[in-house]
Amino acid sequence: MRTYLITVILTGYAQLYKTDTLFISFYSDAPLEKISAESRKGSYSVIHFGPDTVYVRVPIRSFEFPNKLMQEHFNEDYLESDRYPYAYFRGKLIAPIPLNEPGEYAVSAEGDLIIHGKARHRLLSGVFQVLPDKRLILRGKFLVRPADHDIKIPKMLWQKIAEEVEVRFFGQYRPENAN
């Protein structure tokens, strides 16, 4: 895969940034139960500055729940990770980031959020921190409605699973070809 990336033809100021760390967590706050889970490995993201495209891929099975029974239900009954092993975001930054000026920048990307095989057009926001050594730190949060992605929650369990789940992300990007 790495060799593929290097063969991408870069023109002008185009620059490819890739994650070496990407944490995703979510939190569901329902009347009867609070559920949290975290993915700390296996996620992958690239940002192609220039065309300003963003690509994120998160393996559903990488989400770890302290309650393993919930983790099994999450994979088997809700996200159906054997059919839909990944969640994706493919989009475009809506404003350019000054990569050469260290600082913090609010950032938004517009595109398809694909969870459970079902795409939704979304505008997601976060904060980019450009570090002097060219690293980028991205963090932010957004809400996902399970119903928007055809994730059915039995009526009996509505008090245990929130209608809106808060997803947080934290990633560190590095330039892929530092020439």
Residues at the site binding other proteins, with contacts judged by CB under 8 A: 1, 4-5, 7-8, 34-36, 38, 44, 46, 48, 51, 53, 55, 57, 59, 61, 65-70, 72-73, 75-77, 82-83, 85-86, 88, 90, 114, 154, 156-157, 160
Residue 175: Cβ-neighbour burial (10 angstroms; 0-12, 13-18, 19+): middle
Closest CB 8 distance from other proteins, rounded Å: 6
Nearer to other proteins by Cβ, of 46 and 99: the residue is 46
Count of residues making up the chain: 179
Nearer to other proteins by Cβ, of 129 and 153: the residue is 153
3-class secondary-structure state, position 75: helix
Closest CB 90 distance from other proteins, rounded Å: 6
Angstrom CA distances, 126 to 66, 110, 134, 152, stand at 27, 12, 18, 28
Please give the helix or strand (H or E) that residue 7 lies within, else none.
Answer: helix 2-7
SS percent in the chain: helix, strand, coil, step 5: 15, 50, 35
Nearer to other proteins by Cβ, of 65 and 142: the residue is 65
For residue 122, how many C-alpha atoms fall within 13 Å in the half-sphere facing its CB?
Answer: 20
Nearer to other proteins by Cβ, of 121 and 133: the residue is 121
Closest CB 128 distance from other proteins, rounded Å: 20
Nearer to other proteins by Cβ, of 90 and 135: the residue is 90
Closest CB 156 distance from other proteins, rounded Å: 7
3-class secondary-structure state, position 99: coil
Closest CB 132 distance from other proteins, rounded Å: 28
Closest CB 102 distance from other proteins, rounded Å: 27
CA separation for the pair 127, 100 (Å, rounded): 16
Nearer to other proteins by Cβ, of 34 and 145: the residue is 34
CB of 151 within 8 A of CB of 116? yes
